[in-house]
Structure 1
Amino acid sequence: MIKKITVTGILLFFSVIHFSAQTKQEMVSKIVTEVNENSQLEVLAHELMDVVGPRLVGTPQMKNANDWAVKKYNSWDISARNEEWGKWKGWERGITHVDLISPRVQSLEARQLAWSPSTGKKGVTAEVMILPDASDSLDFVDKLKAVKSKFVMISMPQPTGRPDDNWEEWATKESFEKMKKDRDSLDKLWDERLRKTGLSRRELPKALEDAGAEGIISSYWSRGFGVNKIFSASTEEVPTIDVSLEDYGLLYRLAEYGNKPTIKVVAESSELGEVPTFNTIAEIKGTEKPEEYVILSAHFDSWDGATGATDNGTGTIVMMEAMRILKKFYPNPKRTILVGHWGSEEQGLNGSRAFVKDHPEIVENVQALFNQDNGTGRVVNISGNGFLNSYDYIGSWLYEVPEDVTKHIETNFPGTPGRGGSDYASFVAAGAPAFNLSSLSWDYWNYTWHTNRDTYDKIVFDDVKNNVILTAVLAYMASEDPERTSREKIKLPVSKRTGEQMSWPEARDAERAGMLED
């Protein structure tokens, strides 16, 4: 039977298309105007980075951040909750103050590493020595006697505190090459010194502690002016402190030349026992397909050498600002829009892995997940993560994003599945279409990634605004799309490294009892 289509029907059909296109354009325009004229990013950044501060898993500051986010979402009339997923060793950083007191007096730039034991308020005063150079592991055991009652330096002294690009700009070619050759030689010599201890880098501090050392001094330079990476301590009774390259070099030279440097270390901290860990979850409930989900994703925790501004404060405030704007202009989405602020990403994607394990009903019904993590820069790359038809839907959604945002973005479809690095990988492993909004560097790896310089002043708000527009429009488009996204995966190639057929990553559960004894 042939169905007749009237002129009225044709006009109605095209008017619906026109109305739909017009509605999209109006929504995108509202999002852009709100970002440009009523941004709350600076306020959010101040409250999170300046007031709450760093967000190390297991610390009171992390719980303060969880509670702050819930309160902020509630102020926007968005339902939010803290969802417990595990336990962690509780710890709180206090004051760190390190002073050279002999052969002269000078305050040093230093801080205790995460979970370092405390010196107490009175502190510890002791001579500084360089890690003994032994002929082999047996000789090292004998030389361990010398570390008793000393602070022991366990890092290689850097020959220069200038980053390579500074040398490249100002030095002669010959001088630059000589510096790199000398540095490589020092690296090899120090690696050999460590190898001859017979201990791993994680085992060495504990061995020194057991031998009676008063504390451990390290310096993990990040290849930029004044920048060190700040991670965790391996000692259980004595403090571990990281000292800036400049001051570490000073102490090393004094010890090497026989000047017997003495320092006083006050490194206060508190062990808090077993504490609960949380993800903060907020959502705008869908009206037509509430059981399907568009997820905005960013890890909430940070290392605590600074305030975690670009790792991942900027990703966090992008998702919060996108949610605020969507609630304001799109309060009744077709699908539920959920935001996950994940805990303990830095120790192995734990918060997101726990969520995936605990909520299979949500993971099974993910329309799309958008994750942002790696710094303050505007998004410049999106991969299809191995989902065969990802171009069809991501491409159509990106088409509605303003050109001044998308002109910076390169896409890679279908791509290959992400296996780690950030929380989207937890969802990809479970087969959910999850995508990382990867940012321009802004010297992220050298200057802010896990460093003592990852602070508010490194945020580039114009780029962060760019990412809010992108995220909000993608979330809106994914919610409105009449089609369910395909989960069909590519056939993975043979690995060039192993010669074996590659397989899709497997979903893993979280570490549910971090740093806690069995």
Structure 2
Amino acid sequence: MKKLSKLSCIVALLISVTLIAQETNPIIEGIVKEANENSQLERLAHEMLDVIGPRLVGTPQMKQANDWAVAQYGKWGISAKNEKWGEWRGWERGITHIDMVSPRIQSLSGMQLAWNPSTSKKGVTAEAIVLPTVKDSMAFKNWLPNVKGKFVMISMNQPTGRPDYNWEEFATEESFKKMKEDRDVLNEAWRENMRNTGYNSRSIIEALESAGAAGIVTCNWSKGFGVNKIFSARTKKIPTVDIELEDYGMLYRLASYGNKPELKIVAESKELGAVPTFNTIAEIKGTEKPEEYVVLSAHFDSWDGGTGATDNGTGTLVMMEAMRLLKKYYPNPKRTIIVGHWGSEEQGLNGSRAFVEDHPEIVKNIQAVFNQDNGTGRVVNLSGQGFLHSYDFLGRWLAAVPNDISKHIETSYPGAPGRGGSDYASFLAAGAPAFSLSSLSWSYWNYTWHTNRDTYDKIVFDDVRSNAILTAILTYMASEDEQSTPKDKIVLPVSKRTGEQMDWPTPRSPERKGMLEEKK
């Protein structure tokens, strides 16, 4: 009996091992092994971020990145091309030096904003002044001649350069509360004074330039140590620079106390006229259903305060690495796999909207779109985006992902359609099942989103590697699925705000002549 029992155990074990072996998938195993043991992420990140740098639409660096991606895909045996979708105001950043030359000499931390009008190599030297407190627009109009030949500081002086989390850790409860109350009072007073001028924070720039200001100085603090948001200049002929909080506060105090600080600003740049803008598109052709598509999606462009590492260098890396893994272990997919590296997402999803508008034959046959665009963290959220049967197909695909990745992901089915924020929304508005692979924050909003600190060193490569594996497996599963993805949508509820039935988002046309009319 003991021998029989042992024999039964052995047979049961062999059956169990056989079943497990039958359940393992060599393609998925290969993807996971390759990603973990032969990752290309660090090299790709270095070449894209350190060598090419930021990828502002209309700059030579954006075109350099497009060409680099095409060449890289070619090395992997993947067909790729740059597809023109419009034109943009061409511009290239040059040298920026910001120095205080009186009442003492100090080099300041800051930079010119995107599309800034160039100074000469000698730069501009002038006194820095602050906006006055005025009772109404007439009082401001009477003051306005004072800006002639001066740098005008148009941002509020922050009462503290310490983030709230730092106060919360070290301050007394009473001190923290008082700081926030005082700051709220200052913010409201600043907004009220701006209203009294008759302008807002954008329109006042044109008024100051027209009145003869020598330049505009801002401080768009991002509520973190050493972090500023860096966007675009709104001046036509005079320089606009953003100065980091510590130096801006010093200048503001000097001006307020009557010490008359003087700045020398050199902000060189080049105007390049109208330049073509591109999406970089790569594909692995399907074998059984080549006219159906799985789309990998990430915007390629960035703002240029840093090097665009987490917005959206990491999303770009995820999609490139996922394509490499798929080409190596799934070279003959059932459906065609496309990756889109979109241009000018930052100015309104323009590249992806153009692709949707230009390729209805692809959009109508999309099996799924997987988009990644919100920082360096591991994916932690996946919504069905309002597709009625999303639980069924996304659930099937996600079940194939290793547990050490999928266990971190919260799902919401059927969810609700996203209306913007990133390129998946362009496809979603056209009725395609498009999904955002939403990731963990890693202090994204304050520290790296559109900031001067969005650089290579902020990337968490373990998380990006996890996201590449996730994307490759979801793409493989979506491609292999016997069923075409059902596109039935939920009925949206009545809006609490308007009391009317909510509608699904609809397609919007892209801006195809970016900043060119304005420049004329």
TM-score (norm 1): 0.95
What is the aligned partner in structure 2 of residue 375 from structure 1? Answer: 375
SS, match of residue 196 in structure 1:
helix
1:458 aligns with 2:458: yes
Distance 1:155 1:450, change over 3 A: same
What is the aligned partner in structure 2 of residue 163 from structure 1? Answer: 163
1:505 aligns with 2:505: yes
Distance 1:116 1:481, change over 3 A: same
Letter in 1 for 2:480: E
Shift of 1:133: 2.3
What is the aligned partner in structure 2 of residue 92 from structure 1? Answer: 92
**Separation in 1 of the partners of 2:303 and 2:70?**
21
Q: Residue deviations 1:123-150, cap 9 Å, x none?
A: 0000000013222112211111000000
Q: How many residues align?
A: 501
Q: Which moved more, 1:203-212 or 1:38-47?
A: 203-212
1:125 aligns with 2:129: no
Where do residues 158-197 of structure 1 align in structure 2 (5 Å cutoff)?
158-197=158-197
**Separation in 2 of the partners of 1:20 and 1:356?**
43
What is the aligned partner in structure 1 of residue 480 from structure 2? Answer: 480
Shift of 1:200: 2.3
Q: Residue deviations 1:284-323, cap 9 Å, x none?
A: 0000000000000000000000000000000000000000
**Separation in 2 of the partners of 1:92 and 1:192?**
37
**Separation in 1 of the partners of 2:84 and 2:24?**
37
Shift of 1:202: 1.6
Where do residues 48-127 of structure 1 align in structure 2 (5 Å cutoff)?
48-127=48-127
**Separation in 1 of the partners of 2:295 and 2:410?**
22
What is the aligned partner in structure 1 of residue 274 from structure 2? Answer: 274
Shift of 1:85: 0.3
What is the aligned partner in structure 1 of residue 393 from structure 2? Answer: 393
**Separation in 1 of the partners of 2:494 and 2:231?**
36
**Separation in 2 of the partners of 1:159 and 1:306?**
26
Shift of 1:24: 6.1
**Separation in 1 of the partners of 2:300 and 2:159?**
36
Letter in 1 for 2:301: D
**Separation in 2 of the partners of 1:305 and 1:397?**
38
Shift of 1:22: 4.1
Structure 2 segments unaligned to the other structure (5+ residues):
1-17
SS, match of residue 306 in structure 1:
coil
Shift of 1:20: 12
Letter in 1 for 2:202: R
Percent of matched pairs sharing the same residue: 72
SS, match of residue 318 in structure 1:
helix
**Separation in 2 of the partners of 1:361 and 1:21?**
40
Structure 1 segments unaligned to the other structure (5+ residues):
1-17
What is the aligned partner in structure 2 of residue 204 from structure 1? Answer: 204
**Separation in 2 of the partners of 1:31 and 1:167?**
45
**Separation in 2 of the partners of 1:470 and 1:21?**
22
SS, match of residue 67 in structure 1:
helix
Shift of 1:161: 0.7
Letter in 1 for 2:191: D
Kindly indicate whether the alpha-carbon contact (under 8 Å) linking 1:86 and 1:278 is maintained by their aligned counterparts in 2. Answer: yes
What is the aligned partner in structure 2 of residue 154 from structure 1? Answer: 154
SS, match of residue 93 in structure 1:
strand
What is the aligned partner in structure 2 of residue 407 from structure 1? Answer: 407
Q: Residue deviations 1:70-105, cap 9 Å, x none?
A: 000001010000000011111100011100110011
1:44 aligns with 2:35: no
Letter in 2 for 1:499: G
Letter in 2 for 1:166: N
Q: Residue deviations 1:473-492, cap 9 Å, x none?
A: 00000000010000000000
Q: Residue deviations 1:307-364, cap 9 Å, x none?
A: 0000000000000000001001111000000000000000000000000000000000
1:312 aligns with 2:292: no
**Separation in 2 of the partners of 1:325 and 1:23?**
21
**Separation in 2 of the partners of 1:51 and 1:340?**
22
Letter in 2 for 1:287: T
Distance 1:423 1:261, change over 3 A: same
SS, match of residue 25 in structure 2:
helix
**Separation in 1 of the partners of 2:24 and 2:440?**
28
Kindly indicate whether the alpha-carbon contact (under 8 Å) linking 1:429 and 1:506 is maintained by their aligned counterparts in 2. Answer: yes
Q: Which moved more, 1:132-141 or 1:497-506?
A: 132-141
Distance 1:387 1:99, change over 3 A: same
What is the aligned partner in structure 2 of residue 14 from structure 1? Answer: none
Q: Residue deviations 1:441-483, cap 9 Å, x none?
A: 0000000000000000000000001101100000000000010
Shift of 1:201: 1.8
**Separation in 1 of the partners of 2:318 and 2:343?**
17
Q: Residue deviations 1:196-241, cap 9 Å, x none?
A: 1111222111110110000000001101000000001110000000
1:469 aligns with 2:487: no
1:143 aligns with 2:121: no
**Separation in 1 of the partners of 2:139 and 2:346?**
37
Letter in 1 for 2:116: S
**Separation in 1 of the partners of 2:281 and 2:97?**
38
Where do residues 320-399 of structure 1 align in structure 2 (5 Å cutoff)?
320-399=320-399
Kindly indicate whether the alpha-carbon contact (under 8 Å) linking 1:132 and 1:144 is maintained by their aligned counterparts in 2. Answer: no
SS, match of residue 255 in structure 1:
helix
Distance 1:127 1:490, change over 3 A: same
SS, match of residue 197 in structure 2:
coil
Shift of 1:19: 10
What is the aligned partner in structure 1 of residue 431 from structure 2? Answer: 431
